[in-house]
Amino acid sequence: MPGIIFGCCLIFSAFVIIGLRLNKSSSGVALKDEWTETQISNIQYTRRQNLFIGFVISAVVAYVVSGQPVLTVIAGVVGASFVANWITNKKLKKNQDLLDEQYTQVLNSIVSSLQGGANPYQALEETITGLKNPARDVFIEIIRRNRTGNNYSEAIRSVAEEAGWEDLHQLEMAFRLYDKTGSNLVEVCNHLLRSAYDRRADRKYVAATTASIMSTTTVLSILPFFVMAIMRILAPEFAEPLFNTTGGILVLCIICTMIFTGNMFARKMVNSLI
């Protein structure tokens, strides 16, 4: 009997603790959340960090290919910026892809909140509670600026420009129309939601189409340096003129220039399709 009573007390205590934890979860945005450091504010730090990573990667690759300390240092200094930009742009592209995927979730949440009787501010707050990063950080910044005096459209516009989230400009126009004309925000957001689904399908089709082009470009860019490294290891006397004579270094510079130019044109063609 005492054991049963003790077990019931434990179960009751567990339900009380769970209830208290659930009651602590807020449907809004706490003030402390507004000061959370986001990826937007970390971009400059990330670029500086990637410069060091770019120097190390370029120097290691140059030494494996050439085996020459002077060429290694030169390649490390020159390649640091290119590799750092590539790493940074890769992270920003991944972040942008996540934002594009989360845009439909944002619109769905805003529409649901407005249809449930919430005002625009409450709709934005309720949207944040169901979001994950990076979109959550973006909307926390929008709420912060709205609390400090900016109206909805101004806050969305300024944050969209800083985050590079182009889709938010459509949401900005919806809130601007609501502020100036009192338009039906639910209908406008529903229209934006249908358009967002269509654009997402188009983006996935274009990404699948261009993936093979970029894969081929990457392989063709790596292949010459891979051949040089294998040649230097297996037949060093055959590869020695390429890295130790004026003519060989000139040929090496021409190869690097042609690879860089080819990549630049390929990326421009792919970007023009997106």
CB 47 within 8 A of CB 87: no
Give the mean pLDDT of the chain.
Answer: 78
Residue 64 pLDDT: 84
Per residue in 141-181, pLDDT (tens digit) is: 888 888 887 788 888 888 888 888 888 888 889 888 888 88
Residue 45 pLDDT: 60
3-state SS of 245-261? CHHHHHHHHHHHHHHHH
> Is the per-residue pLDDT at 183 higher than 60?
yes
Q: CA-CA distance, 99 to 193, in Å (whole number)?
A: 14
Q: How far is CA 58 from the centre of its chain?
A: 24
CB 49 within 8 A of CB 80: no
> Taking the domains of the chain in order of start, what are their residue ranges?
43-273
What tokens does 73 get?
């240092």
What are the backbone dihedrals phi and psi of residue 68, each rounded to the nearest 5 degrees, phi first?
-105, 120
Residue 246 pLDDT: 86
Higher per-residue confidence, 10 vs 257? 257
- Which range of 86-90, 91-95, 106-110 scores highest in mean pLDDT? It is 106-110
Residue 25 pLDDT: 41
Higher per-residue confidence, 66 vs 24? 66
Q: Distance of CA 62 to CAs 36, 84, 100, 234, 258, Å?
A: 40, 16, 37, 17, 17
Per residue in 16-61, pLDDT (tens digit) is: 454 444 444 444 444 444 434 444 445 556 667 778 888 888 888 8
Higher per-residue confidence, 76 vs 36? 76
What tokens does 87 get?
């790493």
CB 243 within 8 A of CB 71: yes
DSSP assignment of 155-213 equals HHHHHHHHHT-TTHHHHHHHHHHHHHH---HHHHHHHHHHHHHHHHHHHHHHHHHHHHH
Q: CA-CA distance, 242 to 91, in Å (whole number)?
A: 35
Q: What percent of the chain has pLDDT over 90?
A: 0
What tokens does 45 get?
């730090």
Per residue in 94-148, pLDDT (tens digit) is: 888 888 888 888 999 898 888 888 888 888 888 888 888 888 888 898 888 888 8
Residue 15 pLDDT: 43
What tokens does 61 get?
């690759």
Residue 181 pLDDT: 84
